[in-house]
Amino acid sequence: MSVSVVMTVNGEVVAKHVEDRTLLVEFLREHLRLTGTHVGCDTSQCGACVVHANGKSLKSCTALAVQMDGAEITTIEGLANGDVLHPMQEAFRQNHGLQCGFCTPGMVMSAVDLVNENPDPSETEIREWLEGNICRCTGYHNIVKSISAGAKAMREGDPT
């Protein structure tokens, strides 16, 4: 069966027909060609697919597109302001918070949700928050460092 959905994705209203079984991540990647959101495990373990729905992070491989009808979605493509990176993206860049980069979109989206909730997270809080995000390259150390720096930049109200 096919249904029509209307969502606001990165500030733009999109209306599309999807199958009932279309996952949010398929909708983003295949219907909207927003391929910054990745699929790692496809079984809700790895967090590569994390996006925000109405300001809260979720695993987009484990939500149906039709469930998001009317929702406001932000993906990694929606964070930067033109050519100026979001402070959390910039922090990952400055602190060598990525190697292959596969996990990075999910890491950054998850980190922004953390800082929205807890503007000054401790290292322990950052590590606990990353429970749902798996990285196969970095050993996490520089990711934690990046998130601390990104949180600081967000607190200081970097205008981006």
Ligand X SMILES: Cc1cc2nc3c(=O)[nH]c(=O)nc-3n(C[C@H](O)[C@H](O)[C@H](O)COP(=O)(O)OP(=O)(O)OC[C@H]3O[C@@H](n4cnc5c(N)ncnc54)[C@H](O)[C@@H]3O)c2cc1C
Which of 45, 94, 99, 142 lies at the binding interface for ligand X (CB under 6 A)?
45
**Is residue 120 exposed (0-12), middle (13-18) or buried (19+ Cβ within 10 Å)?**
exposed
Residues found near another protein in the complex (CB under 8 A): 1, 3, 19-21, 23, 42-45, 47, 50, 56-59, 62-64, 66-67, 110, 113-114, 129, 131-133
What interhelical angle do 141-155 and 87-94 show, nearest 10? Answer: 140
Residue 54 Cβ vs ligand X, minimum distance, rounded to whole Å:
17
**Is residue 82 exposed (0-12), middle (13-18) or buried (19+ Cβ within 10 Å)?**
exposed
Residue 1 Cβ vs ligand FES, minimum distance, rounded to whole Å:
24
Q: Which does 138 bind (CB under 5 to 8 A by kind): ligand FES, another protein, ligand X, none?
A: ligand FES
Binding of ligand X by 44 (CB under 6 A)? yes
Q: Are strands 50-53 and 56-59 parallel, antiparallel or unpaired?
A: antiparallel
